[in-house]
Amino acid sequence: MAEGRGLAVTLCSERFGSGTARGCRAAADGGLQWEAGAWRWWGLSGAFSVKPAGRDGGRGGTPGAASSPLSGLLAVFLPQGFPDSVSPDYLPYQLWDSVQAFASSLSGALATQAVLLGIGVGDAKASVSAATATWLVKDSTGMLGRIIFAWWKGSKLDCNAKQWRLFADILNDVAMFLEIMAPVLPICFTITVCTSNLAKCIVSVAGGATRAALTMHQARRNNMADVSAKDSSQETLVNLAGLLVSLLMLPLVSDCPSVSLGCFFFLTALHIYANYRAVRALVMETLNEGRLWLILKHFLQKGEVLSPTSANQMEPLWTDQVQVVLSQTAGPETVLRAATHGLVLGALRGDGPLPGELEELRNQMWAGPEKDSWAIVKETHQVLDKLFPKFLKGLQDAGWKTEKHQLEVDEWRATWPLSPEKKML
């Protein structure tokens, strides 16, 4: 574009996420024309000199001006590109997660004080070797528990990340309660603190594994490392605040066990409530058994597929299991269909309306002579041939990710001969 005797050319424009920025382009006299807006302009003027504007979103702003303190703070504790680079449930989850971490930090300070008192810190008669032995036994018990729990439940933590996350935090509160009560019964002190540390090690395995699963859900731009690192920074800041408050709180309650216990119960209640709200804030778009059952039940009764937000709000925090056998070639869609088939069989024994053919089959089950179980499986399989394609399309249209799932599937696979009818095909 020509302006006066000079030339101003706009080469390209750039925007930092969904935030706002100042843009510029080269003016005819070789200067810069700054433009407010969400875009960043690059201009060419004079002897091919490029004059770019500064970035926004915690990366700069007006040229020559420092970014605001708030922008700098957000850049330190939030993933790059926030909020577009994370899932929509990121902020409410992290807020409640910070509240629970703060309450847990204060409770942990009370529990640590009780353990130190129990092993004899401040007692001139206490034996250093006895205290050391107690500490080593406690740590050894926890290490063994960590290995055993990871072997026992490690492959199942992804399937019900929210449930295991809530379980881990409640178990952590139980462990801290045991530590607080340990000095009350000195004869059982070693057993009590060993049990407590065993529970805490289980918490670390379950909490760490589910945190990784939730980070994978929240990271939307292949930025798991950034989301995880910023989550760690947030937790460190909250724990630092908890440490400072603990330094003020402990001298006030250390001489009064009843007040200390009362503070612990209040903080535990806050911790559990904040964890519940954090878990409820999560909106997972992948299907596990609990969410699949809710969606299928609603679909069978009303012919509609629940959205991820609605299903997550209704998801039970404890679930049952459906047992199916998978073939060697079973992929994600086959696994989803098999789980749906199993849940349909369960729906036949429940209450509530069902689509025509399933309702007829349920009436036959209860009104007539008892049918063979495999006959029921075969008939529901035929119904599912018509029902599942519509159900699958409804899931995809509602925003569910059906190319992957969080159904509890192990590595066992089966092979079986084809029926005569399929051999003929």
pLDDT at 185: 82
Q: Indicate if 241 and 325 belong to the same structural domain.
A: no
Domain boundary among 42, 77, 112: 77
pLDDT at 177: 95
Q: Indicate if 124 and 231 belong to the same structural domain.
A: yes
Domain boundary among 227, 255, 281: 281
**Domain total in the chain:** 3
What is the rounded average pLDDT of the residues 352-364? 79
The answer to whether position 84 is within a domain reads: no
For residue 164, give the CATH number of its domain. 1.20.1250.20
Q: Indicate if 199 and 308 belong to the same structural domain.
A: no
Tokens 């070639």 correspond to: 329
Q: Indicate if 256 and 355 belong to the same structural domain.
A: no
What is the rounded average pLDDT of the residues 331-352? 87
- 13's CB contacts (< 8 A; 6+ apart) are 23, 39, 40, 41, 42
pLDDT at 19: 56
Q: Indicate if 205 and 106 belong to the same structural domain.
A: yes
Q: Indicate if 250 and 110 belong to the same structural domain.
A: yes
Q: Indicate if 233 and 352 belong to the same structural domain.
A: no
pLDDT at 10: 55
The answer to whether position 83 is within a domain reads: no
Q: Indicate if 259 and 293 belong to the same structural domain.
A: no
Q: Indicate if 26 and 154 belong to the same structural domain.
A: no
Full residue range of the structural domain in which residue 392 is found? 289-416
Task: Give me the percent of the chain exceeding a pLDDT of 70.
Answer: 78
Task: Give me the percent of the chain exceeding a pLDDT of 90.
Answer: 48
User: The tokens of 44 are what?
Assistant: 């060419």
* Residue 83: cis peptide before it, omega within 30 degrees of 0: yes
Positions of E strands within 255-386: none
- 414's CB contacts (< 8 A; 6+ apart) are 325, 326, 327, 328
The answer to whether position 186 is within a domain reads: yes
Nearest to 343 by CA among 281, 299, 278: 299
Binned at pLDDT 50, 70 and 90, residue 126 comes out as low
Domain boundary among 281, 311, 342: 281
Residues 341-375: b if buried by 16+ CB within 10 A, e if exposed: bbbbbebbeeeeebeeebeebbeeeeeeeeeeeee
Q: Indicate if 319 and 257 belong to the same structural domain.
A: no
Per-residue pLDDT tens over the stretch 63-76: 333 457 777 888 89
What is the rounded average pLDDT of the residues 181-205? 91
The answer to whether position 236 is within a domain reads: yes
Q: Indicate if 94 and 231 belong to the same structural domain.
A: yes
How many C-beta atoms surround the C-beta of residue 208 within 10 A?
12
Q: 161-181 and 90-118 are packed helices; what angle lies between their axes, rounded to 10 degrees?
A: 20
The answer to whether position 187 is within a domain reads: yes
Q: Indicate if 157 and 242 belong to the same structural domain.
A: yes
What is the rounded average pLDDT of the residues 79-99? 95
- Give backbone dihedrals phi and psi of 77, rounded to 5 degrees, phi first: -110, -5
- The whole-model pTM stands at 0.79
Q: Give Cα separations from 336 to 116, 214, 313, 398 (angstroms).
A: 52, 21, 21, 16
